Structure 1
């Protein structure tokens, strides 16, 4: 039992596993609500109680009243000495679930997925409820004691909340599992030369359009926001067979490759924009694509899975038998 008390001691596997388990706790909370499992029949509490967390608040959608998030407070046992806890120990974890494909929550979850695709997640009341919860906890205890965590749609909510806080200089530790990246599935192309050529062409097109629309050498507001985000380094966890999140692999690898080729200036301009965002700007709606990140600690699960469901599943991230590859991408 000592492991789960001291799991924060710079052990990346423990930290990743616990963050994933807390997100799973939110999924089970909503399932408990749907089938009216209460008290000793509820299945959700073990997902956080085993690691000495208390559930202090459920976050509910104001449309269908489904539970989409939760705030957990770390409560180490009285026998734990103070010097056993490190500066990396969170006092609170704010976790968000993804889309539930069965039951009464699916309809509202699907609407949120569409809002994400249209780059309108920030306009939803569900996101605002989550964002306000993050602001309140940060104001109460300070940013060094807080983790954000989410899976799929929930990781998009956590990412947007983290980006909003980072723009104000508050950097929250974030664990984002299978975060959605809305783009053509270039990463699924097997031929590396073809894939690389498509990415280069896309970078040239995006950078050219950005330069044409800007028309001068001063940074746009979106560029300033991109640079302001660069110190924030969320932890992203993706699987190559998951087309919802796998483009993050190519996004960061291509940026590094362009730097190595001496074309870093083009890629730095391209990586701050997207074609859809440029189109929205052209029609007078300034748009910052949610999936674009300057920096990240990217972890790729290289285990082969037989289907998409397994590759996109949250359960893979608390397994101890993984073949992981991690790399830090720090935007400069």
Structure 2
């Protein structure tokens, strides 16, 4: 079955027919393509609504055999910030492995449309570990609970996914539901992190590790001196392993790379508990006295995919060059790109609470 793939201009111009792409749950590349495409479907739905145009979003989910079950509406500006997609159990839809019954997807910040103000408010909540108090997160948890009522014993059939701000919501929702006894497969693209982006600073890794250690000491010292509340690594989520997708050129999420490496270094020196305590706090929350909440990046386990392809921008304008590079490195489009040469530069990193050992292998297709 020959199909045109995905264009990068915010909507699909493919699949005018009613045929479907094969869904292969056993293939990591397919899972990445499907989840990122469903998130793009949420972006496209909001664009359709704002521009009052004919719906262009449907191919993003219909091409993989999903139907739109529900739109998630932000009460602040009436924008679409997420969606629940249901897999069609028709016999004529090809798949390998058991597809998820539902995928709940969340979009990120959209600066060009009227939703920008509410989006930025939620972004600030991410910076101050206060996302759990936002209306979107609370509504997302309520929605997930409603879907789980239909599959209370089949959590493997429900996935969460999101990009940027939406990745933060999905990641925090995944942790919350795991604590309630419902571990859900979670796929997050370019998730925000409330930590200094040391990974983006020039220098060798040893120097960066020294900065991270100093940051950890500073945060723990402040907490002890001023008797500040701290977050600890919850043992209930130790077995939950989200899939995290990052680009080292993306300032929003690049520090996740350093975060995993730092866990490994601290474990080598027998300081894992100290590292976990420091990871549970952000300097922004401590300095500005914000109410401490669940840090998005506080993870016991993770499977991280790093896209090491450097964004290429053709412009001599320094400011534009920086902005265009950031947009490409942060873009969702990089994760559904089918080019084998580009995917050859993806690497996988895994961390587990039992060993806190970082493994690195080229990404496989199975």
Report the TM-score range of the alignment, normalised by the length of the smaller protein.
0.7 to 0.9
Q: Which runs of 5+ in 2 are unaligned?
A: 2-18, 313-324, 355-366
CA distance 1:204–1:73, change in 2 (3 Å): same
Counterpart Cα distance in 2 of 1:268 and 1:63: 35
Q: Is the 8 A contact 2:185 2:242 kept in 1?
A: yes
Counterpart Cα distance in 2 of 1:31 and 1:116: 24
Q: Pick from 152, 162, 182: which aligns with 1:150?
A: 162
Q: Is the 8 A contact 1:74 1:92 kept in 2?
A: yes
For residues 148-203 of structure 1, the C-alpha deviation after alignment (integer angstroms, 9 at most, x for no partner) is 01000011111111111011121100010000012222111221132121112122
Query: Are positions 1:240 and 2:248 aligned together?
Result: yes
Counterpart Cα distance in 2 of 1:284 and 1:28: 34
Counterpart Cα distance in 2 of 1:214 and 1:22: 44
Q: How many residues align?
A: 318
Counterpart Cα distance in 2 of 1:268 and 1:101: 34
Which residue in 1 is equivalent to 2:195?
183
Query: Are positions 1:86 and 2:97 aligned together?
Result: yes
Q: Is the 8 A contact 1:210 1:269 kept in 2?
A: no
Q: CA deviation at 1:320?
A: 2.3
After TM superposition, the score normalised by the length of structure 1 is 0.88
Q: Is the 8 A contact 2:132 2:138 kept in 1?
A: yes
Query: Are positions 1:103 and 2:149 aligned together?
Result: no
Which residue in 2 is equivalent to 1:300?
306
Q: Pick from 9, 33, 43: which aligns with 2:49?
A: 33
Superposed, which structure 2 residues align to 1:253-268 within 5 Å? 253-268=261-276
* 3-state secondary structure, aligned to 1:170: coil
Query: Are positions 1:222 and 2:225 aligned together?
Result: no
Q: Is the 8 A contact 2:191 2:253 kept in 1?
A: yes
From the two aligned structures, give the one with the greater helix fraction.
Answer: 1
CA distance 1:330–1:267, change in 2 (3 Å): same
For residues 27-68 of structure 1, the C-alpha deviation after alignment (integer angstroms, 9 at most, x for no partner) is 00000001112xxx3110011111010001111111211111
Q: Which runs of 5+ in 1 are unaligned?
A: none
Counterpart Cα distance in 2 of 1:154 and 1:289: 15
* 3-state secondary structure, aligned to 1:4: coil
Query: Are positions 1:310 and 2:318 aligned together?
Result: no
For residues 234-274 of structure 1, the C-alpha deviation after alignment (integer angstroms, 9 at most, x for no partner) is 10000001000001111111111121234334323333333
Q: Is the 8 A contact 1:5 1:76 kept in 2?
A: no
CA distance 1:69–1:284, change in 2 (3 Å): closer
Structure 1 vs Structure 2 CA RMSD: 2.4
CA distance 1:6–1:284, change in 2 (3 Å): closer
Q: Pick from 75, 81, 89: which aligns with 2:88?
A: 75
Counterpart Cα distance in 1 of 2:114 and 2:290: 37
Q: Is the 8 A contact 1:207 1:267 kept in 2?
A: no
Q: CA deviation at 1:126?
A: 1.9
Counterpart Cα distance in 1 of 2:349 and 2:55: 39
